[in-house]
Structure 1
Amino acid sequence: MGHLITVATCSLNQWALDFDGNLERILESIRIAKSKGATLRVGPELEIPGYGCLDHFLEGDTVLHSWEVLTKFLESPDTSDILCDVGMPIVHKNVIYNCRVIIHNQKILLIRPKMWLANDGNYREMRYFTPWAKHRQWEDHYLPRMIRAVTGQDKVPFGDCVVSTYDTCIGVELCEELFTPASPHILMGLDGVEIFTNSSGSHHELRKLHTRVDVIREATHKLGGIYLYANQQGCDGDRLYYDGCAMIAVNGRIIAQGSQFSLNDVEVISATIDIEDVRAHRAKASRSMQAASSERYHRIEVSFALSSSALDTILDVAAMREFRIRYHLPEEEIALGPACWMWDYLRRSRTQGYFIPLSGGIDSCATAVIVYSMCRLVVEASSRGDKQVIDDARRITGEPEGSTYVPSDPREFSNRIFHTCYMGTENSSADTRRRAKQLGEAIGSFHTDLNMDTVVNAVRELFAFVTCIKPRFRVHGGSGAENLALQNIQARLRMVIAYFFAQLLPWVRGKSGGLLVLGSANVDESLRGYLTKYDCSSADINPIGGISKTDLKKFIAYARDAFDLPILTSFLDAVPTAELEPITETYVQADEADMGMTYDELSVFGRLRKVEKCGPYSTFTKLLHEWGNRLSPLQIAEKVKHFFFEYARNRHKMTTLTPSYHAESYSPDDNRFDLRPFLYPSRFPFQFRKIDEVAARVPDQSHKNSVASLAEVD
């Protein structure tokens, strides 16, 4: 018998509760895997109902429908003669578990429940599921009647077991289990498991892929073995984008990798591997001594061999050795991830396009360019003949049945589905109006330009009529309260006008349906609360709500060249401004001046607060070391106090934050990721007093850096 085994893993664009669509995508992945000669196929976590069902996992319907889909799966001829690893929720003894179901030829071999659950950040798995705590133990699980009728089985093993074929042994990990310090694959490998499957629902975050690749390589570098990583792909109904990138690793080396960002609903990668390579890698005395004393796993035996006895299969060893992992630059990730997320959101919401108020600033510009990137991806997929993308594009653009329309130019497609509008006031500049118009022309959007002074003045006059007092801007002698109110009414009216235009612009153009309104507040502005509650940051979705200003600038610089959009240079050179106050000879409103800190400083505060879990005092002590060579302790103290005061008093704005693409580890999204209060003692009297006491005692080191710099000049 030969030793070559062909295995397949996949990324599927599943949709929460889309049981018909999810089943078809699973079966399609199996058909593709078999066409590649694979005898083992692995799919993403909870692929039958979709990973993002959230509280729907608590409903009996979700479990029932998953069993019904599994019944159809077992009955399908596509699942014959291949070992399949599929995911669904299962109730065992009245407890809900996140499970993998291992199937072969209309038989369930094993139900393997997840043992370590993801329960922080974006994940609340313990809200729905219970971890399986009986390690290396199993019980009988009695099957529903609908399954018994197909398999002829009354019960199957449920628990922490492995599957033994004629020629190898297979063990299962589920997503988070790979990332735990004592991962199950370690003990399974010592007990002779040679192939590990990992089914994940892992979301995209900027610069995260390196971490994922490192742990997958590490899993088999010392241990030896074959590791198959499958992942969810796309937007399955929430803020997260699951970025696919299925992988196959052997003995610590990645030998196959799927795309990280794609409009494909089904993507399968495969590899043919010599199982003897694993055995040779493990032929070490120290490993053998540990393995000989390791505890055993119960083996579920199946009369099936993964390897083929054919001797004419060619193993491309050179290609595997030369394989290079594909990493995207953060700028490319911004261009691709949110674009794919937006395409899923657009096609699955069954709306006719997007609308955004273009301010002439870099944030709304970045959002618009991401939409243009989405249009580019649609055109690329259409040129490859992707039927699903073409069908969705025809429906979204309102093409009649039988149309032969195929998106072939990103600007032309953008004009059909993307609508931009400059909403100027007397405080707007000619520069921002011009930039917005030129950007719309460059990306092909259906652009409108309006002056909303009459609407703003109507509200202002209404207030004056009711109160007999007319509010004024600060530059005209008004108070701070007047100044802020007059800024906010402009911002809030833009939101109202945006929704009005989004509902009627398709009608104006002779089409039916409505548009989704896009927000464009970046993660740093949200963190600081530098936005008006219920202004044009309040929208349907926000592609850049989890991206820092610093990264957005890098993205714009990248897109300028990659997408041939020279107009973007003018956005990079412009000073960020809200343009909500009158411009005078001595005053032009600027974002960083208004905020009292730079965007780069905001990113630092965000990481310390969320990622490094620092309160005001520990933030201050850390920044003493990081910023002490350029700022005095008293200056650092003032910046820290200013940030936490503004963050705390504006925290309530996060409760109404537009659902945003999650891309940054310090996102302040109150709805799910960043669970903190929104009513604070915002002046932090105890904490700030301690900061002041320490700041007064710590020596000022900043002058030393200045003296050293002067000495270099001399």
Structure 2
Amino acid sequence: MKYGFIKVASATPKIRVADCKTNTINIIEQIKEAHKNGASLVVFPELCVTGYTCSDLFYQRVLLNAAEKSVEEVLKKTADLDIISIVGVPVAIESALYNCAAVIYKGDILGIVPKVNIPNYSEFYEVRHYTSGKNLYDEISYAGVETIISDNLVFCCDKMRDFSFGVEVCEDLWVAASPSVEHAKHGATIICNPSTSDDVIGKAQYRRDLVKMQSGKLCCAYIYSDSGFGESTTDMVFSGQNIISENASLLAESKRFTTGIIYADIDVQKLSAERRKTNTFTKSDDNNFTSVYFDMPIKQTKLSREFSRTPFIPSNKSDLDARCEEIITMQATGLATRLAHTGIQNAVLGLSGGLDSTLALIVCVHAFDMLDIDRKNIHTVTMPCFGTTKRTKSNAQLLAEAYGVSFEDINITKAVRQHFADINHDESVTNITYENSQARERTQILMDLSNKYNGLVIGTGDLSELALGWATYNGDHMSMYAVNVSIPKTLVRYLTAYEAQHSEGVLKTVLLDVLDTPVSPELLPPDKNGEIAQKTEDVVGPYELHDFFLYYLVRFGFEPNKIYYLAKRSFAGKYDNATIKKWLTTFVRRFFTQQFKRSCLPDGPKVGSVTLSPRSDWRMPSDACVNLWLENLEED
């Protein structure tokens, strides 16, 4: 449960219809197994104590009494276990019979939730036996304990309020106005569904999509537990298709026509953060709900869930190719729209031979092709100075020639030296003045060329650089349209590789060499072999770490100590803990102190869920204090 992770389980026991003793033994065994494997919550199928297909046997007091005794047995045998069990059972109250889910914890029943929507169509005939639990609220004695039966219950952990759940039963999911909507609007981050859903051709995919969609609509985790082997096959077959989904993502699914338990790690803090961020997710004004609190100790969840080192990159190769195509098209569409709107048919681009400017050129080419504008109207400029290497300068020219765009070579060394003389700076002192004077001279040339050619200056800086403030203010920080503004450095590499994959000849060769070139601003002199000496990642840290930090800090608002915990797991074997913490500290500090650069960014297209534009997704005061975040990183 620490850091908001809750290990949950969906279980399908083997049952025998109307054999409550056997079913109870199997249920208890699976509760103990789930507990042994670290689960804090386990959900069982609808009416699993008796079997769903008992039909008119549900009129028999013998069966109902046996079911109640079975729940007593579950209470007794699991009283010392820190796990909540949700078990399907029929409950009779006076003249009515309800299809219910009993929520069991530490020898007590926290509450009983009745099914609201009782199907009476096709193969279903539940109205014959069951009464709807809609708006039911009663205090009852059941299985030897005093409890509440109501469809309007939300169960909340005292020590972690983000861990809260609601229960709806089978058909309740399939209707237009599912009870889970109100449960979620009353704070439930997890919805549990004890179900018995028969199988017909094509239903499995629909069921899976339905669970995923409900979890996405409600920004919740959804645990669906389905009946399987042992239910009567007189008229139906049950496959035990258990599904666990989180915010539209499928986390776990059982193999159909089997029994057993599936597990998943739910991040309830992430779900709560998503809801807070989405202001259309509003709290319900229905006051008929009751919150039931339980006291569960906060413990470290042994995670089986993996966290990709590259959260901005799809892991599936076919998904990655489709994503790259989509992103480049979005970037190009943004630029093409700006060009069409302004009536401008020229672009000016500083081409260094590095990754970012290469991607910017790729986007320009795609945009000009969209508008059927001559590529010669893309004016690329290389501006060598003290740190420029033969490799990058050569690649810049080769790229321009391969794409058929205009190319100029403007050496800025004399201009920068004149500037040094003007401000009385000693050239032998290679400090920040030495570096930024070059960056600003290059931007001045680009801006002046834009006037000369009546073109837009295309920005090349990426999202990772913006997060770290790794840009010269009013230098490469400035442009007229920044096409890479929401592309993190790790993704820049994949997009360029995608372009190389779909190129041939000289273009492919040079793109591959750009990918192999160290990331550098080339503002300091090369080494004695003429190779790049100034490597960005030696100064600010590995971009793959910073992109990981950025994703979880901005996308989900995670605390630094949680990001550190995840990074240690994800990068184990590549970076030691001290290295990860060092660069996370650097990231957090720079992220705060460099906000002033992001507060005056030029326009650029949003293409992903993380962006730092001050006009859309990220508004932050430039003088915000970083201390709380640095202190949090030191907390256990």
TM-score by length of 2: 0.48
Structure in which a larger fraction of residues adopt helix: 1
Larger radius of gyration: 2
Q: With structure 1 as the length reference, what TM-score do the two structures score?
A: 0.43
